[in-house]
Structure 1
Amino acid sequence: MSVYGDYTRGRIGWFFGLTGLQLAVLSVAVLPVAWSVSAQDWLAAALFVVLWGLLFLVLAVPVRGRPMTGWIGATLRLAAGTLAGWTRFRARATRGQPSEAGHADLPGILSSIVIHEGPPTGHHSARVALIQNHSTRTWAVTASIVHPGLGMTELEDRAAYGSGLTELLDAAVRAELVTEIIFMVRTVPEDGAERLDWVRRHRAANAPAQVSGINDELHESLTAATVRTEQYVTVVVPEARLAKVAREYGGGINGRARALYGAITEIESHLRAGMGVTSVQWLTSPELAHACRTGFAPGDRASLIDALAAARTDAGVNADVPWEMAGPSGADASARHYSHDAWNSVSSTIKLPIKGAAMGALAPVLSAHQDGERRSFMVCYPLVASSRADRSSANSEFGADLGQSLRVAARMKQRTKNVDESEKVRRLEAKLARGNSMTVPYAVATVTVPKTVAAAEAGRRLDSSIRRAGFAPLRLDLAHDVAFAASVVPMGVSLTRKAV
């Protein structure tokens, strides 16, 4: 099995795991202790030592994988947003205030997104949907892909897929346009809508009742035992880079669309050639609205499929989902889960194991354990520019060498974990020197269940599936709304990109 484990921590502290800023703050905080000792004010010295210990806990000791300062800041922001009513969303249509035609009415981090239709392209002259995010100043394009999967593939094929992914990321870094490539997979219980439509169109009127009964029984049993998988890939480009390239095509929306078309054409060639993707369909605005609506309300998929089937025979049927109704009718963000329409969602990020990650190891995360349960996950590959990658690698190598030297000078035993991290840092620097690119991938998994099911229990089942896959879960409390948008709605939302 193809296993990749040549990754390191995002930041290696220079002084016994502490970063330069942490070391500076703690060093300055020691001065009152030294001043009290020199003045022989022992009561004040004891008080300052206690305060310094509390500061050390806040700055240097992580709590459930996050620094305590991050927990405090997130809690205060959520409390302020709840008091101000910002965490509560109600669609304009439910209040009798429909938005402008074509304007997306979406909650939270998706509220700043605007959808544009690009110029006709391809054999079918389709207008690809261009996703503009004003808060992060980015543009994105999403494609629905079909991949045969990794369950029955041989070792050589998995290695080839891994090499294809590496070539894709290296090519994107060299082009200096794309900054993120996001892969998303959603697995939902099979509703049988397509098969019911096929049976209605192909069943003969004079078919024997016994044969029809056998087909109906097969349909019922197979539908209950199968799931449907939806796969997406999203390419994200920042406005600062796209605007420069768009000038060559005349500027404006059309210029940006032409530049994005060139980028996704190169991405598509790598997806088909190296990664074994059999179908790549860049979504139009109605198709993207369909994916957005079924992301918030998985139960609406069957009715949408029925409408699409009826539209093939009756031109008067409107099978499109208007963007002002593509989001939820209502959504509420809480500390432990995210509530949207008649559903609750819980998200967890995935910590990479020390022993390495096998290709296809995330498959157990998609296994639903209850009727009506929907699983999904996203894997994001933020691409690091070559100059920044060199600086980051040099800093990490310097920090690893300095930490190793301090442990030797202090006659501390070298732990195997520290030695392995130092070796990985040096291997990474060697790969960068040979022309490989650097990326900082992360993954988020989400489970969505009806409100009749306890969200806490669904979250525990998700964490159990992540551990069974060989990873360590980290519940994204206080940020479930952003995690849901990133891992379920294929519109280029990222956890690492900040609003400007």
Structure 2
Amino acid sequence: MAAVYDDYGPDRVGFFFELTGPRLAALTLAVIPVFVAANQQRWLLAAQLAGLAAVVTVLVVVPVRGRSATGWLLASLSFTVGKAFGWTSWRSKAATGKAEALENADLPGVMTGIEVHDGAPKGPAQTRYAVIQDHGLRTWAMTAAIRHPGVGMAEGDRRDQYGRGLTELLDVAARASLISDVVFLVRTVPDDGAERQQWIATHRRPDGPELARRMNDELATALTRAAVRTEAFVTFVVPEARIANQAREFGGGLEGRTRVLYALADEIAAMLRGGMGMTDVTWLTSPQLALAVRTGFAPADRAGIIDALAAHQTDPAVCTEVPWAMAGPSGADTTMRHYSHDAWNSISSTIKLPDRGACLGALAPVLTPSEPGERRSYTVVFPILPFSRADRQTASGEWAADMGEGLRGRLQIRQRSRDRANVTRAHRLDAKLASGHALTRPYAVACVTVAKTMRVAEFGRRLDASIRRAGFAPLRLDLAQDAGFAAATLPLGLGLTRKADE
């Protein structure tokens, strides 16, 4: 049987009818005045307070598309205020003629605090790999381009091997006590045919048969419309609070942090090439990372860059790099249902893990485009909790599950199969943590990008249909489309749940 991951449950387990402590406290504070008024026989006041308690119950308990009503209210209010003050629209400094240093990243929204440094020289070629610093979240990260033979045609034993390799990777990252997140990102990009056009221009003979010329042109057009290219990246993230002490041993500052990150990169690369079966792991330099970010915002720009690389072979004066000041979009606008950047629109959805578990490689249908010109991408984030925090959360979850089971037994409420499964998972998770495994809370975000001449709402619906066809439940990231796009498309180590100094 192929590797199936099902050791997950609610992030917070409620011990009283699935209600967490803060929610139960809010409901208690809302209900107590009703009983006090009724005890004093002030029936009109009791009825008014009961109506208020009902409103509080709806706002706190009833979920609406994955969030509480209170969460939606606060998010809608924040978005409305931002829209009124123009905070949801962004224009780059290069587009307004204010760009100063071309090596400084100029990115919108949640990416504003990103700064990319050139690391210390390494290896015989003295390569300087890109070190990503997020000033807003106080984190450091490195990104590698990876290649994998895939799991589509792999047998069950091979998938089990890959699953064990991923487990070993997360365990090693947890034992290092530095890495907070391991991020895998995959992009299915429409083939622009740039390499084929260059090959044809180089090898086609002027005196060749006209029929062969026409057949090759028609074949190239048909293949370009149907073909796609796949790009895969892995990023590990280290919070500043964890790396600061070890960086002092290497001299401190940027150089000390770079050397710590390089050591972690070697460990991660060894694990990727080993149990996970990666055929190639290449850590990106700053120009390569800038190119990946630029093609993330504008997929069609790759063809021009490929042409520049070809022209550079004959004319060294041709520029082949993308300055960080121009790696982002010239303009971006966040709306309630989608994210607009340059001539493109994007829609993002989170993916809810099913109760029966997720098979390794089950997300493959999400990457399949429905029409030419459509770009699909998704990211899977593995946040790794420190062992001390994981032990506290596991003990709390186990206690809450047992308490809930006991309360249902005392109240003679029939225990449902899902409740029994949650209790079993809580005990099983505690046993695995005691045996030395890491505790992680994985989540996935998928994104579709199309040109503004195409109806993005229709492609968003098709993305959700692909997620459901893969066996998962989609949840549209309304009011947070910019964050969803950044997490699902850009290999910068961005996520949805990370907080500063976490």
Amino acid at match of 1:389: A
Identity %: 55
CA distance in 2, matches of 1:102, 1:309: 24
Amino acid at match of 2:373: G
Counterpart residue number, 1:28: 29
Matches within 5 A, 1:62-461: 62-204=63-205, 207-461=208-462
Cα contact 2:226–2:372 (8 A) shared by 1: no
**Matched residue of 1:199: which SS?**
helix
CA distance in 1, matches of 2:8, 2:158: 22
CA distance in 2, matches of 1:335, 1:131: 29
CA distance in 2, matches of 1:354, 1:46: 41
**Matched residue of 1:95: which SS?**
coil
**Matched residue of 2:478: which SS?**
coil
Q: Aligned-pair distance for 1:204?
A: 4.6
Q: Aligned-pair distance for 1:305?
A: 1.1
TM-score by length of 2: 0.97
CA distance in 2, matches of 1:134, 1:77: 23
**Pairing 1:463–2:464 present:** yes
Cα contact 1:139–1:236 (8 A) shared by 2: yes
Deviations along 1:313-360, whole A, 9 cap, x unmatched?
A: 210100111111110011001111101011111100000001110111
Q: Aligned-pair distance for 1:402?
A: 0.5
Deviations along 1:286-320, whole A, 9 cap, x unmatched?
A: 11111111111111111111111111221010011
CA distance in 2, matches of 1:204, 1:150: 41
CA distance in 1, matches of 2:440, 2:27: 31
CA distance in 2, matches of 1:275, 1:197: 35
CA distance in 1, matches of 2:347, 2:125: 39
The Cα RMSD (Å) is: 1.3
Deviates further, 199-208 or 174-183: 199-208
**Matched residue of 2:263: which SS?**
helix
> Which structure 2 segments of 5+ residues have no match?
none
CA distance in 2, matches of 1:219, 1:319: 25
> Which structure 1 segments of 5+ residues have no match?
none
**Matched residue of 1:379: which SS?**
strand
Q: Aligned-pair distance for 1:189?
A: 1.3
Counterpart residue number, 1:37: 38
Amino acid at match of 1:295: G
CA distance in 2, matches of 1:422, 1:202: 66
CA distance in 1, matches of 2:38, 2:459: 54
Cα contact 1:99–1:105 (8 A) shared by 2: no
Q: Aligned-pair distance for 1:252?
A: 1.2
CA distance in 1, matches of 2:283, 2:459: 33
CA distance in 1, matches of 2:185, 2:370: 20
Cα contact 2:139–2:239 (8 A) shared by 1: yes
Cα contact 2:102–2:326 (8 A) shared by 1: no
Counterpart residue number, 1:486: 487
Cα contact 1:145–1:278 (8 A) shared by 2: yes
Q: Aligned-pair distance for 1:458?
A: 1.3
Q: Aligned-pair distance for 1:216?
A: 3.0
Amino acid at match of 1:423: T
Report the number of matched residues: 500
TM-score by length of 1: 0.98
CA distance in 2, matches of 1:41, 1:137: 55
